[in-house]
Amino acid sequence: MSKINIKVYIDKENLSKITELNNGSIVSDLLKNLKINPVTVIVSRNNELILEDEKLNDNDELKILSVISGG
């Protein structure tokens, strides 16, 4: 199966990384791969929020923003 590369920025860890996924993967596949609970984040692409069933494309750049803040 062909693969796609997704560039991800995870704000909670202030970390950028490239994740390889199967072609046809969606946002929830990415979160599962990164072991992130979808309840705890919102995901944006090109500064627009996208949902968990959004299909990902090769070389997409995503931001994963934690909803947990404060103390």
Partner 1 sequence: MSCCSEKPVIALNSGDRLCKTHFTEYFENKVLKTIRQFDLIGKKENLGIALSGGKDSLTILHIINKLSMQNPKIKITAIAIDEGIEGYRDKTLEKAKDFCNENNVELHVFSYKEEFGLTLDEMLKILDVKPCSICGIFRRYLLNKKSRELKLTKLATGHNLDDECQSILMNQFKNNVEASARLGPKAGIINDKHFVQRIKPLYLCTEKEVTAYSFTKGLLDNFSECPNAIHSFRAQIRDMLNDMESKFPGTKYSIVNSFLQILPLLKQQFKDGAKDGAASAVKSCIKCSEPSSNEVCNACAYLERLNGKSGLLDVING
| Residue 11: CB minimum distance to partner 1, A | 6
Contact between 49 and partner 1 per CB under 8 A: yes
Q: Which of 24, 16, 15, 28 is nearest to 58 (CA)?
A: 24
Q: Are 7 and 58 in contact (CB under 8 A)?
A: no
Least separation, in Å, of the C-beta of 63 and partner 1?
10
Of the listed pieces 2-10, 15-23, 59-67, which binds partner 1 according to CB under 8 A? Answer: 59-67
Report the residue count for the chain: 71
Q: What are phi and psi of 66, to 5 degrees?
A: -70, 140
Where do contacts with partner 1 occur on this chain (CB under 8 A)? 11-12, 37-40, 42, 44, 48-52, 65-71
